[in-house]
Amino acid sequence: MIIYLAFSVLFIWLIINSWILYKTRRHYYNLISRSKKESLDEILEQLLAHDKKFSAEIDNLIKHVNEVIKFSKIPLQKIGVVRFNPFGRGNSEQSYVIALLNHHNSGIIINFIHTKEGLRSYIKQVKHGKGDKYELTEEESESVKKSSYY
């Protein structure tokens, strides 16, 4: 009786192992047939080659994105305009200040003053919202404060 029980357990164990082996073999052939390669080693080599290729492409894309981010900080992103009357006579506000700034409030301010003789323009460099070499006038400071993203 113990012998029959041992053979029954052995037979069930063989059936389970055969079923696992059959599933593994079918999976292996399924992988090989899809890739049109003859062995798993060739498939793995192909995957490693693709991995190296894609890693190099990703590295190039990362470098390119970092360059784009670096240079995107340079262009002007904010504009502020203030009209004013520099001489206090009359109501005409024909003079104006234009602030052209990046996201760090650095850039240039162009001051256009309208006089009887004509139009005069002045340019000042701005760094972090303050005049670089020259102090900003009240109107210039206001144009920096009013500057907004376009």
Give per-residue pLDDT as tens, 67-116: 888 777 667 788 999 998 887 766 677 899 999 998 888 899 999 998 88
Please report which residue ranges of the chain form alpha helices under DSSP H. Answer: 2-35, 40-72, 138-146
Residue 118, pLDDT score? 86
What are the CA-CA distances from residue 81 to residues 4, 71, 140 (Å)?
99, 25, 9
Residue 19, pLDDT score? 96
69's CB contacts (< 8 A; 6+ apart) are: none
Tell me the per-residue pLDDT of 19-32, one tens digit each, with 9 for 90 and over.
999 999 998 888 77
